[in-house]
Structure 1
């Protein structure tokens, strides 16, 4: 996918029954269904069943089985509760008659209340950085295997503040900052911005947990996969504009890496927070 319009088409599910939807897959070069795609498609399915005045504020998901990239995914939405202020949905993604993914999502009316937030880190602005695509192009001759693995078009543009994590040759501290935005205008519908944020939020999380272990991972056959994912949306935002993903990994243990992320608009508003745990395993 080269732009956000292609991504929007992928995320716009086909309705096949009441509260049942079907989605197609992006043919990823790594031959597995991308977790961010399933997250975003499940958000699309849930949104299709809630009142128009309710907006997603949190989601909690588990990746149960690897998705088969060669066949569609069916999403079944369970209408759990429609309350006075909050609406709750449960989404199950199914292939071959088995759940491969489950998500609980909560939607809320716009309401006034207390407000505070942490301060956005003071880092280099995106206008003074180059994209991950340009970084990858620069290693085409020196690291051809890494170039082949990471050289593919994406509907999201990323501009790392520090050295690009997957290409690091030395171990480093588990912190990174990455600017990102959709490639193209998304339009005014807030649900679309939420879907694309869910898609983009799955990038760079598990990579952050690998930073202290690059010297091993670069020379050993390894397997990385998302296990669970949670996201809280705090404020409205425009995913077509630059946002800073501030990431840190407090812990890795028992073959699992844990990462947190705060997402800020360029003017310093904290718009979302994300956590994820993923499998990090050297294949013997």
Structure 2
């Protein structure tokens, strides 16, 4: 890994700390020469040792060449690199705006569809509840009428029992005879009404239907809604396993 250079002030100018001003091999000697073969600076002592017989120049002679290199770097950077970087910055700024606009539009469309589905579901629920209410009222009416008919029937039976008891105790032989021949009551038992029935079974596997009703979501990579769900789950797993993660819970 490259180390970040630090700077110190030497003789009125900034010099990087990792740049030597004295020879590494002969630390008492200043670096005054440049070896073309080794492409490195050296001192006077090096001329008779490690750089012996090499093409060595005084450092002042090589400075014009290094200045040209620096100037070429500056010119190339200004004309090419900075232009490219500026174009990238401009393009990225546009992408930032487009990215925000795109997902805001998607969010708006999704919210609109969600509201529409909620309204449709509320309407369907209200219609079903209205049918339930009507059926309840009809069944209530039938049951109340049936109950009243039963109570009337009960009173008539009681009256007939009372009359029969009196006749047994006080009636003539002919009256008792004719009553004994009568084996049934004149009144007919009220017919039990047929009630309206309804059932409701909650759909526990409604997620697939909800996704279908909400609409299909796809990305530029061709991911479907189910694939996005798996992607979202993977992202949650990654965040939950990261030591610097945080989890956001969304509820209704």
Alignment TM-score > 0.5, same fold: no
The answer to which structure has the higher helix fraction is 2
Structure number with bigger Rg: 2
Query: Normalization by structure 1: what TM-score?
Result: 0.13
- Name which structure has the greater RCO, CA cutoff 8 Å, separation 6+: 1
Query: Normalization by structure 2: what TM-score?
Result: 0.14
